[in-house]
Amino acid sequence: MMELKFFTFLLLIPFSISAQAQFYITEEDITFSTTSNENGEAPSTAVSSTECILKCKTTDSSTTAYFVEEVSKCFCLVNETQDIFSNDITINGTLYKPEPKMTSCGQVKDRSRFSTNPETGFYTLDKDNVPTDVFCDFTNQGKPSCKHLKEFCPTCASGFYTFEIENELNKVYCEMDVDGGGWLMFGNLEIIPDATSLDSANDAVQNPSSISELQNVQSGSFYLAPTELQKLYKSSGYSEMRIMCYKKWHMRTLDVVLTGLKFVDWMVSGFKKTGLCGDVRFLPMDDSFTSVQACSGLKFGGIHLIYEPNRYHVVLGYHGTKWSCDDSKGNAGYTTAGKWELYVR
């Protein structure tokens, strides 16, 4: 009699927050005819099904384990039709066949047969045929973010992490220190003096990238398309933007967080907003002129991320030549050279 069961084998890696879960389908009372030909699959000794699975998993994660408890034998099979070598004429045991590789957090949830609520954490999933540690968030309506990752793992360092955005696995850079951390970087641009339309950073703004390309954000010439950024605000619960920029000519750093309902409405609708009292917050590293202006006169929208009309602007590559960071093109000594980093949370 053949009975189908599901067996979950969980390998915990010491000193790591990563858990690799491998799911197996078990088929009991499977009888194999044996061969005396030593070219057949030879057994090893195993005292338990777990030991047998471990041995076969070490050989190849796609290998089927066949455990014969009565004689403590373990066979690692590439397929179920191959010959096995044994002195016994027939043997009766249990097959442990690995299920197809998981490619989404949804599959992790579906296969958590012993718990209706799988734990938020890191799971090894298959991304483009490569085993990848993925942060699966089962607490925030299945919408992970760098902020949720920071809450789950307060000691996680800034760096690249993989989680689902728009139901696709994406590798993103999470900044985990500034203002409590949990920032997803979506723009990283470095402009040389007298930038032209041929510069790579200019090209990044004129031909912005998609969410699936966020893994390239540290190239120094990356900018997420505004339509893609809107997706994050509309579907993934983001509500803040951090703008950090610096120019050597004036030696000032602007480091500001835009937040609040007015800001989110701008991100979703695109309409320009005036008067940012309560919607703008300057961080400790900021020493900009913008920060000392009356918040009632500050604006965002149009070609500007934030600006004081006719005085201090943050503009990215307007017409390929206008690059502003707490300055204006008419300022004495103005140059395009600078660095911009953009984040959402």
pTM of this structure: 0.75
The long-range contacts involving 132-140, CB below 8 angstroms and separated by at least 24 positions, are 132/162, 132/169, 133/18, 133/162, 134/105, 134/162, 134/163, 134/164, 134/169, 135/161, 135/162, 135/163, 136/105, 136/108, 136/109, 136/163, 136/164, 137/105, 137/163, 138/105, 138/109, 140/237
Give residue-wise pLDDT tens across range 85-125: 777 667 888 999 887 788 999 988 887 654 567 889 999 99
Rounded to whole angstroms, the Cα distance separating 341 from 331 reads 22
Give residue-wise pLDDT tens across range 18-31: 344 566 777 887 77
**Please, is 341 exposed, middle or buried when counting C-beta atoms within 10 Å of its C-beta (0-12, 13-18, 19+)?**
buried
Name beta bridge partners: 168: 165
Ranges 57-71, 172-186, 328-342, most confident = 172-186
Task: Name the residue among 294, 301, 298 with its Cα closest to residue 267.
Answer: 301
Question: Quick one: pLDDT at residue 20?
Answer: 45
Rounded to whole angstroms, the Cα distance separating 274 from 277 reads 9
Task: Name the residue among 159, 163, 187, 188 with its Cα closest to residue 175.
Answer: 159
CB contact at 8 A, 241 and 343? yes
Residue 36 — pLDDT band, cuts 50, 70, 90?
A: low
CB contact at 8 A, 259 and 242? no
32 CB-side CA count, 13 A: 29
pLDDT higher than threshold 90 for residue 179: yes
Placement of tokens 């409405």 in the chain: 265
pLDDT higher than threshold 60 for residue 37: no
Placement of tokens 């499977």 in the chain: 30
Residue percentage of the chain with pLDDT more than 70: 86
Structure token pair of residue 52:
């047998």
Q: Where do the structural domains in the chain lie, given as residue ranges?
A: 44-79, 105-175, 183-344
Question: Quick one: pLDDT at residue 257?
Answer: 96
Torsion of Cα atoms, 117 then 123 then 124 then 129, to 10°: 70
DSSP 271: -
Residue 136 — pLDDT band, cuts 50, 70, 90?
A: very high
Average pLDDT of every residue of the chain: 84
Residue 262 — pLDDT band, cuts 50, 70, 90?
A: confident
Question: Quick one: pLDDT at residue 105?
Answer: 93
